[in-house]
């Protein structure tokens, strides 16, 4: 009787998991072979999902949410490497390339079991396609071997998370045949994003207003177009000052009152 109830319970649980889009058999197999890695992957995937959702957004008090979620991402990458060592998936002296490959492999297994984490899956694809991901893995391995957390990991994880911002504007340019083109480097996209979005955010605070991330994204896009008109740095700065003064005195221009969701542009939601 007990065995019959157990079989029925397992069938019931698998049925419940299927209802939520979870492949229970794959998840169980993953856990049985690598329990520590399976547990940490849950946190790593949630951290990736948070980065995908919050890239470029700010908290109510104006702090960059990317900074907060990137810290969690950095921590969980390091935990994942340690877990894979514990489960025997990687050896302690394995190369960084092999570690990065295994991170991708274990994430692929996790996404097979939990396919509904689409945002995290797309972010992982973008993240591991960047050369910076290999350096991040190297730094985490070095930190684990030294037994410290390393102050540079946070900065590198934050930089990697900004790839979503870059990819978002590149995708807009591809679809609309506009800037940023190859005339604007990835670093310049980030620099313009930070300067323009921060400046408008500060004026909004002075006016007692709150600009959404989508509005700031749209404003940045306009300034990316301006940059590719081959204007001088001085002219760019003067035009930004003019627009900020106008916003401070008269409110936001109507043509700035549109929203661009970079996450949606990339198909992340």
Q: What share of the chain is helix, strand, coil (3-state, %, to 5)?
A: 75, 0, 25
Residue 174 belongs to some domain of the structure:
no
Q: Are 188 and 239 contained in the same domain?
A: yes
> Which residues of the chain fall short of a pLDDT of 70?
1-21, 54-68, 146-161, 269
Q: Are 94 and 59 contained in the same domain?
A: yes
Q: Are 88 and 132 contained in the same domain?
A: yes
Give residue-wise pLDDT tens across range 4-20.
443 344 444 444 445 45
Q: Are 67 and 113 contained in the same domain?
A: yes
> HEC profile for 161-192?
HCHHHHHHHHHHHHHHCCCCCCCCCHHHHHHH
Task: Indicate the pTM of the whole model.
Answer: 0.51
Residue 167 belongs to some domain of the structure:
no
**Number of domains, the chain:** 2
State the pLDDT at residue 244: 94
Q: Are 17 and 123 contained in the same domain?
A: yes
Give residue-wise pLDDT tens across range 252-262.
999 999 999 88
Q: Are 230 and 147 contained in the same domain?
A: no
Q: Are 73 and 113 contained in the same domain?
A: yes
Q: Are 193 and 260 contained in the same domain?
A: yes
Residue 60 belongs to some domain of the structure:
yes
State the pLDDT at residue 44: 93
State the pLDDT at residue 241: 92
């Amino acid at each position: 009787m007990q065995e019959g109830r157990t079989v029925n319970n397992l069938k019931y649980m698998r049925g419940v998991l299927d209802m939520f889009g979870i492949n229970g058999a794959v998840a169980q197999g993953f856990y049985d072979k690598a329990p520590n890695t399976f547990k940490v992957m849950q946190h790593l995937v949630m951290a990736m999902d948070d980065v995908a959702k919050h890239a470029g957004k700010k908290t109510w008090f104006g702090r960059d949410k990317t900074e907060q979620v990137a810290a969690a991402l950095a921590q969980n990458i390091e935990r994942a490497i340690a877990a894979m060592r514990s489960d025997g998936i990687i050896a302690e002296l394995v190369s960084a390339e092999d570690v990065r490959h295994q991170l991708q492999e274990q994430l692929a297994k996790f996404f097979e079991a939990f396919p509904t984490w689409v945002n995290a899956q797309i972010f992982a694809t973008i993240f591991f396609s960047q050369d910076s991901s290999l350096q991040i893995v190297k730094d985490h391995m070095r930190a684990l071997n030294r037994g410290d957390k390393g102050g540079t990991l946070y900065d590198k994880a934050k930089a990697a998370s900004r790839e979503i911002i870059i990819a978002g504007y590149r995708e807009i340019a591809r679809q609309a045949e506009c800037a940023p083109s190859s005339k604007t480097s990835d670093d310049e996209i980030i620099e313009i994003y930070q300067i323009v979005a921060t400046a408008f955010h500060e004026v909004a605070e002075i006016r007692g207003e709150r600009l959404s991330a989508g509005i700031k994204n749209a404003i940045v896009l306009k300034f990316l177009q301006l940059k590719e008109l081959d204007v001088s740095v001085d002219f760019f700065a003067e035009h930004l000052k003019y627009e900020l003064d106008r916003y401070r005195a008269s409110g936001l221009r109507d043509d700035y009152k549109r929203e661009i969701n970079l996450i949606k542009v990339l198909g992340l939601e």
